[in-house]
């Protein structure tokens, strides 16, 4: 029997009780990508009629984004296989702080608002558990497109009766800045070139969605994106790509429990870094079809070094998940986090489970241990919490993962999906509360 918790952790809060050591088997369905869905919902503001997004994951963050769009006059309707967004009556330029403060991705509204209405007043999203997360690259890019921008009382106030195409060089290939500027440029006068652009699959998904709405965008997925402005964008139907981070979470869950499972749908090219690293550590990955793969585990894994980088480098979102596996792999590993300044929140919790990890600056030195032991642990952000779930599946005894308000932002029905694969886990406690990132 699973016990009821640990007195030092809040027992009235939602938590996952995981009984470790069970193998997984079968196939798991991968949901639509959270980080695509969020930005595509903002992108739908660019069209003056209905957009239909399919494969939208059922997540707390998606619900919050829908509330933010509704607050500025947009109709958002949940349908059986997606959501319908109509921004014909987009009328307010100021998404309210009370909502924006719950979801950083709401800042994406700034580009479409400026392009459609010529004015945007969007509260600064501020930092979150993983870092300060400034938005100066978004702001400088909008200024290059001809917007007047001031920051007053915590609100970014931008004004541009008509944006004008420009050549923009991003000091860093920021995913969010690339997306903001690409959206804004779709309705600008003339040509915009974004150099040192982010190349993440979610950027390409946004570009494809905008193209389906009538935008002219070339080069998304490379480091130079050209956008030729058009007068208007129309509604469209669009399928969101599968979530590569959710997929890698299940790959790691299988690897750490020495289980063979298959995953579908996935886009293999989006998982290149994860697949290469898993194979280096000892697992085998077999492509079973254009959108399906199978992981074949090893008996033991060997340590490896990881450095997070912008795409196509190793994704920061997978760093914590791999660390759980490296914690029980033979030998030493060095994990360097270069994208966010505070993304090691899982380390002290993994150490409570018996891992041997030391952090110095943005490096974590991991000495592999033979096994982890279950413990009550606290998730500090989305991917840190997911890493603790992965670790709990393999740990001896019971792990109680707290902090599910983070997990629920990014994983659709995770305990149901894991349960269907044979994991022994159960959610207990109240409903999760909003948390921003
Ligand atoms: N940065 C700046 N100035 C800017 C913009 C970014 O200094 O104006 C810095 C950030 O502070 C960070 C780095 O650049 O240190 C990378 O940030 P980026 O803008 O690329 O990330 P993001 O757009 O804020 C998205 C995802 C993140 C994911 C990163 C990196 C969404 C909603 N979020 O964030 O996802 O980790 O790209 O791939 O798309 C998550 O899903 O849990 C998550 C955090």
Give the H/E segment covering residue 16. strand 15-19
pTM to 2 decimal places: 0.96
Task: Tell me the CATH number at 419.
Answer: 3.65.10.10
pLDDT in tens, 299-341: 999 999 999 999 999 999 999 999 999 999 999 999 999 999 9
Do the Cβ atoms of 393 and 371 come closer than 8 Å?
no
Q: Is the CB of 142 under 6 A from ligand 1?
A: no
Please tell me the distance from the alpha carbon of residue 261 to that of residue 316, in angstroms, as a whole number: 24
Same domain for 20 and 104?
A: no
Q: Is the CB of 172 under 6 A from ligand 1?
A: yes
Same domain for 219 and 294?
A: no
- How long a stretch of residues is the chain? 437
Active-site positions?
A: 128
Please tell me the total count of domains within the chain: 2
Same domain for 222 and 356?
A: no
Residue 132 CA, closest ligand 1 atom number: 11
Please tell me the distance from the alpha carbon of residue 426 to that of residue 419, in angstroms, as a whole number: 8
On whether 173 is known to bind a ligand per the annotation, the reply is no
Residue 133 CA, closest ligand 1 atom number: 11
Compute the radius of gyration of the chain from its Cα atoms.
22
What is the CA(437)–ligand 1 centre distance, in A?
Answer: 10
- What proportion of the chain, given as a percentage, has pLDDT over 90? 89
Residue 84 has pLDDT above 70, yes or no: yes
435, part of any domain: no
Do the Cβ atoms of 78 and 58 come closer than 8 Å?
no
Confidence category of residue 127, pLDDT binned at 50, 70, 90: confident
Quick count: other Cβ atoms within 10 Å of Cβ 222?
A: 11
Please tell me the distance from the alpha carbon of residue 113 to that of residue 136, in angstroms, as a whole number: 18
1, part of any domain: no
4, part of any domain: no
Residue 432 has pLDDT above 80, yes or no: no
284, part of any domain: yes
What residue numbers bound the domain in which 311 lies? Answer: 15-31+243-428
Same domain for 235 and 289?
A: no
Q: Is the CB of 197 under 6 A from ligand 1?
A: no
9, part of any domain: no
pLDDT in tens, 181-206: 999 999 999 999 999 999 999 999 99
Residue 140 CA, closest ligand 1 atom number: 8
6, part of any domain: no
What is the CA(20)–ligand 1 centre distance, in A?
Answer: 33
Residue nearest atom 18 of ligand 1, based on CA coordinates: 174
Residue nearest atom 22 of ligand 1, based on CA coordinates: 176
Do the Cβ atoms of 120 and 180 come closer than 8 Å?
no
Please tell me the distance from the alpha carbon of residue 200 to that of residue 222, in angstroms, as a whole number: 9
């Amino acid at each position: 029997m699973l016990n009821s918790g640990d007195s030092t952790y809040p027992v009235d809060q939602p938590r996952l009780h995981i009984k470790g050591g069970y193998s997984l088997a079968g196939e798991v369905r991968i949901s639509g990508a959270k980080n695509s869905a969020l930005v595509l919902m903002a992108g739908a503001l660019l069209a003056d009629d209905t957009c239909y997004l399919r494969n939208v994951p059922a997540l707390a963050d998606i619900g919050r984004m829908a509330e933010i769009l509704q607050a500025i006059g947009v109709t958002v309707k949940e349908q059986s296989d997606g959501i319908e967004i109509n921004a014909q009556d987009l009328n307010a330029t100021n998404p309210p702080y009370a909502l924006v403060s719950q979801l950083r991705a709401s800042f994406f509204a700034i580009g479409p608002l400026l392009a459609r209405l010529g004015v945007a007043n969007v509260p600064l999203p501020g930092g979150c558990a993983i870092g300060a997360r400034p938005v100066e690259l978004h702001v400088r890019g909008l200024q290059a497109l001809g917007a007047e921008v001031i920051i007053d009382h915590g609100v970014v106030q931008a004004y541009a009766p008509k944006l004008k195409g420009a050549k923009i060089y991003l000091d860093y290939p920021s995913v969010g800045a690339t997306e903001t500027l690409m959206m804004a440029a779709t309705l600008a006068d003339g040509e915009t070139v974004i150099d040192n652009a982010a190349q993440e699959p979610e950027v390409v998904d946004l570009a494809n969605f905008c193209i389906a709405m009538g935008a002219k965008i070339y080069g998304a997925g490379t480091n130079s994106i050209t956008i030729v402005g058009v007068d208007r964008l129309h509604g469209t139907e669009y399928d969101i790509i599968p979530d590569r981070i959710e997929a890698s979470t299940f790959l790691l869950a299988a690897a750490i429990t020495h289980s063979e499972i298959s995953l579908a749908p996935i886009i293999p090219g989006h998982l290149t870094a994860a697949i290469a690293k898993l194979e280096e550590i000892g697992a085998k990955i077999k492509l079973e079809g254009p959108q399906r793969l199978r992981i074949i585990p090893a008996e033991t894994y060997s340590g490896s070094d990881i450095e997070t980088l912008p795409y196509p480098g190793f994704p920061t979102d997978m760093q914590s998940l791999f660390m759980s596996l490296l914690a029980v792999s033979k030998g030493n590993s060095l994990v360097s986090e270069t994208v966010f300044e505070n993304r090691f929140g899982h380390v002290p919790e993994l150490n409570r489970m018996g891992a041997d990890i030391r952090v110095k600056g943005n490096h974590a030195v991991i000495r592999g241990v033979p096994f982890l032991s279950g413990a009550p642990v606290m998730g500090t952000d989305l991917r840190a919490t997911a890493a603790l779930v992965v670790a709990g599946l393999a740990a001896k005894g019971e792990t109680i993962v707290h902090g599910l308000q983070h997990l629920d932002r990014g994983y659709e029905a995770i305990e149901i999906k894991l349960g269907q694969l044979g994991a022994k886990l159960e959610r207990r406690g109240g409903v999760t509360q909003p948390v921003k990132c």
